Structure formats: C-alpha cells, structure tokens
Structure 1
Amino acid sequence: MALPISYILFFFLLALSIFLSISSSSWFGIWIGLELNMMSFIPLITIKMSSHLSESALKYFLIQALGSTMFIMSSCMFLSFTQMSPPILLASLLLKLGSAPFHFWFPQVMSGLTWAQAIILMTLQKITPMVLISYLSTHSSLLKIISLSAILSAIIGALGGLNTMQLRKMMAFSSINHMSWMLISISISDTFWVTYFLFYSSISSAIMALFLIFQAFTLADLMKLSQTNPIHTLIIPLNFLSLGGLPPLAGFIPKWMLIQFMINNNMYMSLLILLSSALITLYFYLRVATFFLLLTNPTAVPNVKLNFTFSMPTSLLLFFNLFMLNLPFMFLLF
C-alpha cells in the first residue's frame, strides 16, 4: 500500500532539516534544523495508531526536547560562560545521538518502532548530531569527553546486547557499540567517520530491511521463516558477520583503517577496549548466525520441496551481500 502524501512530505522535511542544520552558519539556525527534524520524525513514528508507537513517540519527543533545551541554553551561554558552554553543548548532542552515558532512551524507543522507522532512527537521525560533534572536535578540551563517551558506548553496547532475545534491542545496542568507533573516528578526522558511517548504515539497513521483509522481531521469529528457501540462511548470517567486522567481509574495512591509525598514534588502551567490545558484539552476532545455519534444516521437514526461487528483494539483497563480500579484495588490488 502506498504511503499517504503527508508522510512523504514529513520525510522530505526530515531530509531538509538535516541539510539545514549541517549547513547553517549560526547556532540558532542549527537549533531550528534540529527542531524541524524532531517534529518531522514524530509523525513518521505515529504512522499507525498503536500504544507501542505512541509510547516511543512520547519518549523520543521528551528526550529530543530536553536535548534541544540544553542545546539552546548552552548556545546562549557562549558569551558569558565560555568554559561551561561547550561541554553542555556536547552533552546535548550526545543525548540526541543516543551515545553513552545518555543511551538509556535509545533501546526503549527502538523496541516500539517498526523496522522502517528503526532504519531512519539508526541512520538518518544520527547524521546531524555527528556532524555537529565533528565541528566541536576542534576544541582540544572536548576530545577527552568524546573519547570517554566512546569507551562507555563500547562497553555498554557490547554488554547490553548479550542477554536480549529482541532483535530491535539487539540492533539498538549494536548501534550504541558502533557509535564508539564513530566517535573515535570523529576525533581523528572527518574522512574516517564518514567512511565508517557509510559502511555501517548500508550494512545495518540491509539487515533491518530483511527483518522488515520477513516481519521478524525476535530470535523465535527467525525460526518461523520459510525453511524451504535456503537462500535466507545465507543472507542474514552474511549481513550479521559483516556488521560485526569479521574479516574479510566489508564491515572490517573501516575498523581496519581505524585500528591502523590508533596503533600508529599509540592509542593502545582505547583500541584494546574497542576490540574487546567488538569481540563481545561478534559473539551475539554469531549466536544469530549459528542459530540460523544449524537449526534451520529444510531437509528435516518431511514432504517439503526445497525452493530456490529468488524474489526481487531477496535478489537485490543477495547481490548487495556478494558485492560487499568482494569489496575488501578490490581494495587490495589498488
């Protein structure tokens, strides 16, 4: 069913607000873009009348309103309290971003969203705060706060996803963990974090698009997928292993670049924490992958013919996965 024109308009305003915020030359213009972004995303959350969607919309509104209040307050304090204003401004952006220690709202909001809304929340809604944090990374006093938030995000994102059976919460804690790599990348250079964000957005969007197609929200739902099509058992584990950064998949490329830079600059302690958290996240990614590969056995179902047909979405996603699988070898050729 086609979306109403009003929702297409809200999505257009969402994209417009991102460009308005990152291209504005004043804090007031950035604040207007952030407010427009919030007020255009909330109608997209409440696209259907549901208690879960309404609860997520209310939580998102309260958190974003608090972040906007802190943002405009710190902007007004620049002239009088020059030392206090930048940390408050950075804290407001970390709150909007859902990075630790201001991560508490992100898994709860994600739990009530549909997969289409979760894709927007985990990709487009992160662009503006990260660009603004990259502007603030020129202040040497704020780099320690950014690094501290990155370390906390790595630890919380890794430990938070261990015991959850909900796929949306798993993706939320995965996003928090990947935020640690992106925050460290922001403190280094714009090229690093843009590269990491593009890889992360493409891989995580592919995973959530698969869950949207299959309408899977828990690990138990994965077991109910069509066991007569073995193609499904290839696509989802391949995406998860790539998201976990397992070499030689494409998700390892931005982490490889960042690891080399951190080693060259003697950032061993931060690198140790990030790599340890990546191993933990790879554990619960592998739990999904092995669950899919070992328990999904079409031959164990009697009188069922194997179906190797490729639907259009499945074909596109499989092509995407196979292309991403070969992408690291293309880098090695140059």
Structure 2
Amino acid sequence: MPFSPHKISFLLALISGALLSISSSSWFTAWIGLELNLMSFIPLMSSKKNQLPTEASLKYFLIQALGSAIIILSSTLTLLHPKLALLSISLALLLKLGAAPFHSWFPQVMEGLNWPQAIILMTIQKLAPMFLISYLSMSLYTYSSIFLAAITSASVGALGGINQTSLRKILSYSSINHMSWMLIAMLINETSWMVYFFLYALIATSVALYFSSTQSYFFAHLINSNTTPHSKIISILSLYSLGGMPPFSGFIPKWIIVQEMITASFFLALLILLASSLVTLYFYIRLTLSSISVSCPQSKWNLVSFYPPISISSPVSSMVNLFGLLIPSALLMI
C-alpha cells in the first residue's frame, strides 16, 4: 500500500469514522461512523494489479453491509421490544467484528490482503464494533450472546489454525482467539479489555510488519527466505509472544484477564480459554520447530552467504515482543 495522497486521505477518513462511532451519543451517529469507516477501507483494499484484494474487498463490503442492515432493522424494534433490539444489535456487531460463529468471512478476507491492509483489518477495523458492544446495556439476552460468542471464538480460533500454513490465516484465527479474551473481559471490567486490545494491536502489528519486510505470506517463505538467523529467531519469538507464552509480552494481557476471571468466578470459561491458548501455542511451536530444523538450501560451492540488510521492523518487533522479559527484573528492582 504505497503512501499516495488519496491513500492517506482514505486512511484519515477511516480513522475518523472509527472515532465518530466511538464518541457518538446515538445509534444513528454510530451507524454513520461505521459506514464512513467501511467506505474508506474499501479503496484501501482494492487493487488494479491483483484480483485477490478486489475479491476480498467485495466479500468485506457484503458482510459489513449485511451487519449495517441488521442494525437499521433492529432500530425499528427498539420501541416494540427493546431487549430483542439489543440482541440483534449485538449479533450485528459480532458479525462486523468477525467473532464466531460469524467468523467464516474473516480468514477468507485476510487471505486476499497484503500485510498493510491486514494490519488495518486486525486493529483499527475492530475498534468501533468492540467499543459499541461495550456500550450495550447488558440484559440477559445480550450477556448470553456475548458470552457464547466468546466461548465459540476461543474454540474456533484454536482449532481453525491447526492445519494452516498460510501466515495470514494463522493470524486471522489467532485474532479470533484473542477476540474471545476481549469479549469475556467486557463482561467483567471495561478497562481490562482496552489494555488487552492495545497490547494485542501492538504485538500483531509488529509481527505483521516483520512478515511484510520479508515478504512472507506462507510458512515455507519463512523457511526458505534468505534472511539472517537473527531475523528468523525474531520471527519465532514474535509468534510465541502473539500466542501468549510467558514471559513474552503477549502473556501480560492474558495474565490480567486471568486474574479478573478468577475474581469474577468465571472458572469454566477460564478453563476453555486457557485450553484454547494451549492449542494455539501448540501449532505455533510445531510450525517454528520446522523453521529451526530446516534451513535454506544453498549450493556447496557458495562459500560466502549473502543476507539482505536487517530492516527497521526487526528491532521494532523484538522490542515490542520481548519487553515482557524485563518485567521480572523490574519488579525485583522495585
């Protein structure tokens, strides 16, 4: 995604639409912000040189238009049946968010995008629906729908990424799994899910920027890429951090949510979320072991190995994903 003037203007309009939805005082203004956000993201996704981003943008537009139509339909039910209207609005926002069981479009759209667009889809595009879900008054119907969506997202995000070799699909199913932690956190504490979302967005962005710098879209690209061993180790540790392995940075938000769930007596949900996290760590470790054991094939007479220079994303990725290692020493100093 080159930084041309019209791309920058669409990106600013996209951020403005998300902020308008977050700061709105009525559902009509929130709907306008969602539509502005949608119509600004479509030009950023489409490309004349490749049909896959164009196909992904069409799928994304149809799904988001369906969610907006459900929100408009539910607004007519507000006076007749307020609880049913809130339930339908929550389901529409979960559809826009890509949470299970409305998740099937999310990996397909992610597969057709380049890494810069994938970063926007995983981070900025989730801001407005997540905040609007947190603004809902928690009736029994709304509470049950969010809780069931969180449990389903944990299971789907863990099991869906097991047999995947596409890095974009792995990150998409990982995003669905992380969404379950944020949805559960919404039911307990509003501040904790914001902290989780901020740290997840930071880690996922650093991982995707590293993959973008090496032009890696499948795991075979990581194995066969002509990169330094230092860069390969950074990619492995970044995936571990995204999976939430202690003591990396991705473990910190999960640690916070685990403490909140224990305090709120969400023991069964905590068991399911922890089991799903173990499954995600399993396929991360299985993929990274092959990257360690298999090196790039080179000719025997090529005595001098050439490695491209390390891009700026490598130190940024290592700093973001490894600062969790410094926390125990910082606590000892205190």
CA deviations on 1:193-216 (whole Å, 9 max, x unpaired) are: 011111111111111111111111
Q: Does 1:268 align with 2:277?
A: no
Is contact 1:233-1:296 (8 Å) kept? Answer: no
**Alpha-carbon distance, 1:78 to partner:** 0.7
What residue in structure 2 maps to residue 232 of structure 1? 231
TM-score normalised according to structure 2 size: 0.93
Distance 1:2 1:92, change over 3 A: closer
Is contact 1:137-1:186 (8 Å) kept? Answer: no
- Tell me how far apart the structure 2 counterparts of residues 32 and 244 of structure 1 sit (CA, whole Å): 35
CA deviations on 1:74-114 (whole Å, 9 max, x unpaired) are: 12321122231111000000000000111011011111001
Higher mean alpha-carbon deviation, 41-50 vs 21-30, is at 41-50
Question: What fraction of aligned residue pairs are identical, expressed as a percent?
Answer: 47
Q: Map residues 112-261 of structure 1 onto 2, 5 A cutoff.
A: 112-136=112-136, 138-227=138-227, 229-261=228-260
Is contact 2:238-2:317 (8 Å) kept? Answer: no
Is contact 1:210-1:236 (8 Å) kept? Answer: yes
What residue in structure 1 maps to residue 109 of structure 2? 109
Structure 1: stretches of 5+ with no match in the other structure: none
- Tell me how far apart the structure 1 counterparts of residues 315 and 202 of structure 2 sit (CA, whole Å): 16
CA deviations on 1:206-245 (whole Å, 9 max, x unpaired) are: 1111111111111111122124x11112211111111111
Letter in 2 for 1:287: R
- Tell me how far apart the structure 1 counterparts of residues 278 and 307 of structure 2 sit (CA, whole Å): 35
- Tell me how far apart the structure 1 counterparts of residues 84 and 26 of structure 2 sit (CA, whole Å): 19
What residue in structure 2 maps to residue 25 of structure 1? 25
**Alpha-carbon distance, 1:250 to partner:** 1.4
- Tell me how far apart the structure 2 counterparts of residues 10 and 295 of structure 1 sit (CA, whole Å): 42
Letter in 1 for 2:117: Q
- Tell me how far apart the structure 2 counterparts of residues 2 and 254 of structure 1 sit (CA, whole Å): 33
Q: Does 1:326 align with 2:326?
A: yes
Distance 1:55 1:292, change over 3 A: same
- Tell me how far apart the structure 2 counterparts of residues 172 and 155 of structure 1 sit (CA, whole Å): 14
**4+ residue stretches of structure 1 with deviation over 6 A?**
297-301
**Alpha-carbon distance, 1:3 to partner:** 2.2
**Alpha-carbon distance, 1:299 to partner:** 10
CA deviations on 1:278-302 (whole Å, 9 max, x unpaired) are: 0000111112322222223799965
**Alpha-carbon distance, 1:328 to partner:** 5.5
What residue in structure 2 maps to residue 278 of structure 1? 277
**Alpha-carbon distance, 1:327 to partner:** 4.0
Is contact 1:230-1:307 (8 Å) kept? Answer: no
- Tell me how far apart the structure 2 counterparts of residues 327 and 120 of structure 1 sit (CA, whole Å): 29
- Tell me how far apart the structure 2 counterparts of residues 39 and 19 of structure 1 sit (CA, whole Å): 15
Distance 1:320 1:255, change over 3 A: closer
What residue in structure 1 maps to residue 82 of structure 2? 82
Higher mean alpha-carbon deviation, 261-270 vs 98-107, is at 261-270
- Tell me how far apart the structure 2 counterparts of residues 5 and 307 of structure 1 sit (CA, whole Å): 34
**Alpha-carbon distance, 1:318 to partner:** 3.0
TM-score normalised according to structure 1 size: 0.93
Secondary structure, counterpart of 2:229 in structure 1: coil
